[in-house]
Structure 1
Amino acid sequence: MTGVLNFIFFMLVLGFICYTFLVLIWYIVTAVTAMRAMKKAEGIHETEPYEDRLQSDDIPPVSILVPGYNEEVSVEGTVKSLLGLRYQAFEIIIVNDGSTDNMLNTAIEAFRMKKIEQVVRRYVSSKPVKAVYQSEIHRNVYLIDKENGGKADALNAGINASNYPYVCSIDADSVLERDALIKAVQPIIDGNGEVIAVGGSIRIANSSSIERGEIMNVTVSKRPVVIMQVIEYFRAFLIGRLGMSHFNILLIVSGAFGLFEKSAVIAAGGYRTDTVGEDMELVVRMHRTARENNRKSKISYIPDPVCWTEAPETAAVLRRQRRRWHQGLTETFWIHRSMFFRKKYGTVGWIGMPVFFLIEWCGPVFELLGYGLLLWALLFGEVNAVFAIILFLLMIMMGSLLSVTSVLLEEQGNGRHTNVKDLDRLFWYAWTESFWYRPLTVFWRVEGIWKAIRRSKDWSKAERKGISS
């Protein structure tokens, strides 16, 4: 190998090492912040029981939006689980987004829906509503039948039809824990009008037992792809989002479960329908709109309110999901590129956007570079072996060590996995991440960047078995 190639390799490795150390420092900061926040939350739970909060006059009524397309398998169980929520005043709005399966009739029959005459106000843009139904047995359950327009458009229709000042979005294949809503609303009650959105934790319910819309026994799937997603969700929520929320630079509230101030959503223009990452794009736009209107605002995340959802069980379906997520991330950064390093957007513009871009968007690009450099070092033995070893160890630290930490954090904070074999499985699989799972997701996320550059849209939807029973 020539001296020039050696120099190029050295500079690339040096750049990769510097990047990795910056990412590790950020993860250490957010992990420590997360641990302190979880410890503080434990104290709150002990001194302020949620039973007392349920009687408070400060609790705002909430409209729960359940958008669905071809969700006949899941919609009945999901709505039944929502009816069991411990909360003072809420309504459930099912939005049938032009389904081609039997979702509409399933909902009508399950809840004895009758068509009603109701004018749906047009706060934000959405496809035309064909009919509005109300349940005869649960007067707080409504069904909106509309033309197909995608999930974002369905959520906009739900916002237009809602009657309450806060809206909670939940996927039609998900189950909320009984106290999830009362826990999620607490930051709003304590926020003096500043908290405009709250996100909770998403957990994977594959292989867990659910009865009457309630998680009865949490069990970890034996499928490696599902196990790694369980671990990945721990890390993303407990380390990533909890830490960013502390600094008020949280840029995403999961589309599977989020609580929003309706007026703030309307002020931002509702959900965009021309991006595959509508959940993150809305949150960034809410940050942006609040600062442009000189409103002091905060978007929070708290780990305890949990929403259980179904995860992809095959690599092919997971690939489509991760490719779509990173495409949506790319589109959001492009749409809001003018927010970077702008004084008017405060910490979101100076820290939140750059850090999220550096870690989440650039992450797969730099990791792919790292795999290429490692392969280069293996193919050409003349390269200093020390660099190759350092490179390899950094990649292990960047993935597996953080995953192990997140598993420990989850069990320390929530302890929902009581089976010792499940805990062992999670712990040991976390150490394997860098050897097979992370390289796969790196390639898929880079594919998402390429799809965003090409402006191709992937609106495909995963097949659901249905977890709500």
Structure 2
Amino acid sequence: MIVFPGWLYTVAEIVTWFVIAIGLIQILLYIVQLGFAAIALHRRPAMPPTEVLWDRYADLAPPIAVIAPAYNEELTIIESAEALLALHYPEFEVLVINDGSKDTTLARMIQHFDLKPVHRYLDLAVTSQPIRGLYANPAYPRLLVIDKENGGKADAMNAGINVARAPLVCVIDADTLLEPDALIRVVRPFVEDPIRTVAVGGTIRIANGCRIEHGRLIEARLPRNLLALFQVVEYLRAFLMARLGLSQMQTLMIISGAFGLFRRSSTIEVGGFSHNTVGEDMELVVKLHRHMRDRKRDYRIAYIPEPVSWTEAPESLSILANQRARWQRGSLETYRKHGDMFLNPKYGRIGFLGFGQVWVVDVIGPIVEVVGYALVPPLWLLGLISVEYLLAFIAVVFTFGVFISVATLVLEEIQLRRLKNARDLATLTVAAIAENFGYRQLNNFWRLRGWWQFVRKKQGWGTMVRKGFQRP
């Protein structure tokens, strides 16, 4: 048996304790979010049918401009545009922004909708690359296609904000499919609390495996691809637990750029979407928090679970790894730009709870967890820590991870009942357990890769190959 110096045992115990402590803090945060999410779902009124919402809000709902940036989206752009034009909402406009695509995205739109060049006043309120042309057809009065020089997703959304005339802008991905009543549901906070509400987020679900026809989801199904199935569990946990809980706590730090509704004037006040980050959706929400609190305004940024959009999830390890590394990089870039808000009493619960979560989960979380994987088992094998430390680490990594995932599924089934049969619930339960044994560890290594890209100041989104929403 190897005998090590006493100080080495002390260092090993301190490192192990730190890893376990950070893990326990993360779990505590998740349990608190789960509790607040359960309270929010329990208190929420019964979800009314679309017809009731229409009767209640149609005369009060403000106009919305739906902004859909598109870059090389030739596979999905027509069905996505048709689905957007078929939304059930009193007054809205669909702005499809072709961000200098290198494929036939623009040509397909022009040909399919028989579009012609038009002129329109542009309010250059936020920065974007030059617009090369606007295209429309009187037969489709709600559709306007904007062709611009390539500048990235944030730049494209800024161009849409400049062209938009509605007081509210809904930002989505061009490959996102909104349910027909998504707008009338997501606008509710703006109707019920029009003075304070500045941004609202809805739910995003995985479309892989679903039956989709003509840009509309006909039947929700679970994906057959294992990676996509794990992402179904992740998205449920991220939206139904984390964002709903944080919204209830009034510390929501992100509204997804794939489906979010913003007050146009407030978005312009903070300069629109920032160009120097791949996490522009999170950074915009943080800028809104900062702006409102700096000016001591009473405001509301909320998430509500009922409006649903559907998106295609990566089904290959390489593409998923790029996506998760990019998400991690975006969180770190936002933290670097607004790190002075962390623990700053001036920003209240946003500085303490909101940024506290960002620091624990996004900034040091992946580093600490990967260090735990790499060090704790070898330290136990070498006899530098006792078996109790190893068991505590295993409990933090696996046991509590399984609990949080399964508890989210239970909450979803009790409150929303979106799963159509017991078989789907059983499948997701197995996936929620299995993801903690391999997939979660891979995720943390991908996030560590994002950390490395952040340190190296890497820019750009990387490759995102999509299959498109295929008709059966």
TM score, norm. by length of structure 2: 0.95
CA distance in 2, matches of 1:202, 1:20: 27
Determine which of 11, 36, 54 is the counterpart of 1:8. 11
Q: Deviation of residue 212 (structure 1)? A: 2.6
In structure 2, the partner of 1:459 is 461
CA distance in 2, matches of 1:450, 1:398: 28
Q: Deviation of residue 267 (structure 1)? A: 0.1
Q: Residues 61-87 of structure 1: CA distance to partner in whole angstroms, max 9, x if unpaired?
A: 000001000011111111111122111
Is residue 151 of structure 2 the alignment partner of residue 163 of structure 1?
A: no
SS of residue in 1 equivalent to 2:402? helix
Identical positions, percent: 39
CA distance in 1, matches of 2:442, 2:380: 20
In structure 2, the partner of 1:21 is 24
Q: Deviation of residue 258 (structure 1)? A: 0.3
Would you say the 8 A contact 1:198–1:302 is kept in 2? yes
Give the aligned residue type for 2:390.
A
Q: Deviation of residue 48 (structure 1)? A: 9.9
Q: Is 245-254 or 369-378 further displaced after alignment?
A: 369-378
Task: Label 1:277 to 1:434 Cα distance change in 2 as closer, same or farther (>3 A).
Answer: same
Determine which of 250, 253, 260 is the counterpart of 1:251. 253
In structure 2, the partner of 1:409 is 411
Q: Deviation of residue 408 (structure 1)? A: 2.1
Determine which of 339, 342, 354 is the counterpart of 1:340. 342
SS of residue in 2 equivalent to 1:367? helix
CA distance in 2, matches of 1:48, 1:13: 57
CA distance in 1, matches of 2:121, 2:463: 31
Root-mean-square deviation (CA, aligned residues, Å) is 1.7
Would you say the 8 A contact 2:332–2:362 is kept in 1? no
Structure 1: unaligned runs, 5 residues or longer: none
Q: Is 351-360 or 406-415 further displaced after alignment?
A: 406-415
In structure 2, the partner of 1:60 is 62
Give the aligned residue type for 2:431.
Y
CA distance in 2, matches of 1:415, 1:78: 27
Q: Deviation of residue 453 (structure 1)? A: 1.2
Give the aligned residue type for 2:279.
G
TM score, norm. by length of structure 1: 0.96
Give the aligned residue type for 1:124.
V
Is residue 389 of structure 2 the alignment partner of residue 387 of structure 1?
A: yes
Is residue 111 of structure 2 the alignment partner of residue 109 of structure 1?
A: yes
In structure 1, the partner of 2:153 is 151
In structure 1, the partner of 2:54 is 51
CA distance in 1, matches of 2:462, 2:450: 14
Is residue 208 of structure 2 the alignment partner of residue 212 of structure 1?
A: no
CA distance in 1, matches of 2:407, 2:400: 11
Spell out the pairing of 1:70-469 with structure 2 (5 A cutoff).
Answer: 70-381=72-383, 383-467=385-469
SS of residue in 2 equivalent to 1:200? strand
Give the aligned residue type for 2:54.
E
SS of residue in 1 equivalent to 2:435? helix
**Number of residue equivalences:** 468
CA distance in 2, matches of 1:468, 1:121: 38
Task: Label 1:459 to 1:46 Cα distance change in 2 as closer, same or farther (>3 A).
Answer: closer
CA distance in 1, matches of 2:409, 2:463: 29
CA distance in 2, matches of 1:39, 1:133: 46
Q: Deviation of residue 10 (structure 1)? A: 1.2
Task: Label 1:468 to 1:49 Cα distance change in 2 as closer, same or farther (>3 A).
Answer: farther
Q: Deviation of residue 47 (structure 1)? A: 12
CA distance in 1, matches of 2:400, 2:130: 48
